[in-house]
Each structure stands twice: as C-alpha cells, then as structure tokens.
Structure 1
C-alpha cells in the first residue's frame, strides 16, 4: 500500500542551491549569457534566475561582464563566471615527455608546459621533468590549482596513484609517485587522480569519438606499448589493483603457431626497439606496408585477433576500438573476421588525436566545475 505520509517538501535552501547550480552550469557551457538566455536554457522563470544571479554575484562566483545586448527591445546585461575561481591541473606522462596544462571551468586551456624526455628516461628523470613542468605551469597559471588529473603511460596502482613496475613494460618508470610530486603545487585539499593513459583514451572515445554513447566496449592501444581498457555499463573497469586491460602478457599464437606472451611476438619478429621492450613502430609499419612481406601481417593479425577474441569472450563488448600508432592498420582485417563471427562484434579504428589528454582534460574540467558549484552552498555540498 502507498504510504499515508506525504513526501517532505524540499527546503528553500535546497531549491535555491538547485537553481544556482543550473545558472553556474549554464555559464560553464557559454562564456557569457543574459538572464533571459539562462532562463530559456534551464526552463526556470526569469525572476528566479535574477535572484540566483544576485546571490552568486554576492558570493563572488558570477560577474556582470559589462557587455549589453543590442537591437530592439529591452537592453540586457551579460553575465559570466567570475575570475579567480581556480583551475584544474592536467598532466600527461608519456615516454616522449611531460605535458602540463591549467584548465578553467569553461574547459579552456589557460597555460601549457611541455618538457621532452630522452629515450628510456627512467624514474628520476621523469620525476624531475614532472616537477619542473608543473612548477613552471603553476607560476604562469594565475589561478590556484584546485584539482589534478594525471594520465600516465604505465600501469597505475589504483590505491596509491603510484606508477607500478610490471615485467617487460617498455616505459620503465618504476614506482614514481605523481601525487607526491604534485602535492606542493595544488591546493592543500585538492584531489589528485592518476590513471593509465589507455583508460583516459577509452573515456574520450566514448564521450566524443567512434564509441560515442556506447556503454560496453573494449579499447586496445597498439603502439610502442600495448594496453587495453574495458568499459562496462559506461564506466572504465580498473580491476582490483588498477591493472585491468594489461594485455602484454596474454598468451597468443606466435610466428610458428606456438603460444607466446603478446610482447614476445614482437621480439620473435625482430620488431622491438634496440635495448628496449618497446615496439619498433617504424620497422613494424614498414613491414606491414611491404607487399612481399605477408608473414608479419599474418602473425600480427593472428596475435591481435587472439586478444580481441579473449576480450569478446570475457567482456561481451558491443564493439572493439583499436587505437595507437599502428593498431588501426589491422582494423579492416580484424573487422572482417569478428563482424561475421559466432558472436558478431564490429572492430573500429579510434578517431581522436591524443585521446588520453582529451579524456583527462574533460574529467579535470568536470571536477573543477563541481568544486565551483559546491562553493556556492558549502553546507549542501556532497
């Protein structure tokens, strides 16, 4: 039977907080809006929007930009987010260098620093470059860094945010501690989230790439390093330790048909970079393009096909996305095989440039926006 007790009505403070959030999020999607435009976007009455704008201006979150509407009719004032609301720090750690960005609540990059790394740089060099990049960025950003998101081309321990050393990983940074390096440059209460670059790339492809809106898919990164991400019910599954999707040691058919760890297939084909476990991408792509070298393509297609088959069996994806510097070269052959298999799954090529930074930047922007919204009504913040 339905309850005889009426549902409690939301408090006035809660209603005001919801209206203020609508106003702030509208102004986070456009750099300036009039009260009438905000009302039209949100479906909230203009008097209620006007009250909200006054409240938000009084606490320093919204400002009159000084611009006015033109044309016939009543002149309207444009409002925007106030300056000084802080920035989000976005960091990319790759075998080639460090990228550090300051991103505002509109998602705009306000400052950027890049520091190159030497080949096989190692933990100390990477740590020093990370510290130097963020120090320079913090000096230029002009806003306090209120949250941080890091993309790293290494396995990441989900409990600590440290980079983890797995056997034969090509980017051997060891136990680098990005949260520890970044802590002096962000607000004392700032959250610092570190995740593997392939996971960020998968999030980006789901948000605005070839897997837009797909809740269940597998993303494979095939480049100098090998990695995977599993997206299930719209979320990246990181696993108990953060190592879900680490495909390098999955056993696959080698050149003579014998089972080998995937990473060893490249060694058997002579496609590893000298003195490293990294894939020699230039040599690999040259062999894939050579019309008289069918062995490399056949072996690599068979090996990566085994990875896709395992992903289909265990993750039941709607699609498989293949990215990286050479992986998309195999997509037509893989798609023809799996689209018509016993469990049909299309295989598509990733389509975003630098998807790991796109994914990390979007998440950092969302976190910063939530901090700004929560600051309007701190007592109600979740």
Structure 2
C-alpha cells in the first residue's frame, strides 16, 4: 500500500509520448478551468481538496482501478494528502505530482528541430505548463538563445552537455507574460544580450541593440535579422530568420492564432502595425520558411514529436488571423477577441525592464497561469 511521487519531468514525458493517465486535480474549480495540465491522452477529474478533507468517499466510484492515477494541486502538499487517502482505500498505482502546478509551470522540455545546413543543431524548449517556446542554436561549440525564460540553469546546463558556450542571447521583444532569462544568462555566461531598441527605451541595464538588417553569426550558422522589423505585438517586435530555414516570429504569429497588440495599453495604435507585419512583411518571405513562435495556446498545436512548428505558406492558408482582407474587419476581429490580460503583466514588463527585482517566489507567483499572448 501507499502512493508514489511523480516529477513534472516524468509527467511531461507522458504528455509528449501521449501516454494514458488519469489526472485528479484537487485545486478549486475556477483554477482548474483557467489552467491545467493538458493532454489528449489524459482523463480528468477535478474535485477541490476541501471537499476531500474528511475522506475520498465522494470520488471513490470515479477513480479507475486499471489506470495510473496522478493527483495534482497548486504546490504539491494537498495532492500528497489526497493520494495517501486513496492508497489507504486500497487503490494502487496512485501518484502525487511533486511541486504541483507551480513546478509544472517551470518545466522545459527540449525538442530537437533539425540540423542546420552550415553545421549545427536547432532545439526548441517547450514550456508545457505555460505555453512558452524558446530556442537554442548550437554550431561549432557556440550557442545562441532566443526568448529564454527565467529557468536559466536549464539552458546553461543543456549547452554544457552539448559542449557549447552560450555567446548570444536574443529577445524578440519585451515580454509581458513571463520573465525573460536573457539578461541573467548573459550575466552568468558573458554572452551578449540583444534587444530591439524600440522596446528597450525604458530598460535600466546595458544591452546590445538588434535591428533591421543586422546579422549575427553563431559558429558557421547565421541569424539574419534583415528587413524583419515586425512590430504589432510590441512597437519593437523583431523576427529572426535562422539558416534560411526557420522564421522566429516571437509573439507576432502563432500556429493557430496571431499576437495581441494591447499588452502595453496601445491596441488601437499597434493593430495597424500588426496587420502590416502579417499581411505585407511576412508575405515577402518564402512560404517554405518554418515558423517558430514564442508561444502556443492549444495542445493541438503540438506535433507528434512534441514540437511546435509549421511552414509559413501553410499558415497563410489555414491560420484564421491571416484570412481577413479588410483592414477595418481585421481591426475589429483583433480588438474584440482579446483574452484576459496575463497575470501581473505590468509587473512582469517592469521586471524585464530592470525597474523591479522581485524575489524568486514572487516571480513564480507572477507567472502562474496559461499563455495569454494571442488573439482568441
């Protein structure tokens, strides 16, 4: 008898491998509806912990006896209590998710996207619990990062395992839904930290501007930032073309949606820029470029290998946000379909500007919740 623990790394593998699991979420109903571990291969039951303090009798008939059952809560404590009660009732294969949803929010799952033509590799780091996507280019012992999250040790350790030194760190824009790890990684590794200058007018630290037509070489692979100043999500948003194969769109273009223009409070000003970027600047590019966004919103955006990617030409045919020919209709579509603002988005922006320096636990709380960077 008794229960075991499962780490968020193990849970992520089950999501990526589409393994079957029964997930009992003991958070409050509104928290579960807002944000949960998502997988097409999971079965779910939400029953608040407070309904189970006196025993698991209310859910005994709902718990399968022929499947692994994982119990998850906000931080990992309540799930242990409920898992123990289930085990005491004779259920086998019961697990408590270590660290709960807070730990789930921080897990990064690396996925290799491919080999670069000039030598080297490209990896995508999938933050399953938050919908963030970041990237590492490795070539001839050098590494570059794009849109890194605050879990900086994951990237540093990964580069070390690959025998590479991080030389360059880029942010496509000033993020508002999560805390960037770019500056911290640069400080720890001596890498150069690049920001689009139009997004960096209020930052309180030194950075290297990255602008139209700038080129940075990583080993034998080029990152071309050429004619790709792509405002709309922010005034400085900049897209990167890597190795003439990949288009890193930041929060401008996603697989099934487009970026929201309102996180700095300027939706009416920036929606025109967003349309110009999507309908004109991107139209000038090759349809064969593989779009790599900085976020995903829906579990069906994950491919079978766990990656999030699609050709630009396919998105011009299938992404609803790219099908609105009339500019006024586009403006209406964008401004009337904005999801709730990300948690603590203004405080996150100030943190990414260097104006505030919250403690780690506060940073974790600031980021709790799903990706809300897209027009819905």
TM-score normalized by the length of structure 1 = 0.25
Structure with higher Rg: it is: 1
Q: Given the two structures, how large is their TM-score scaled by the length of structure 2?
A: 0.26
Task: Name the structure where helix makes up a greater proportion of residues.
Answer: 1
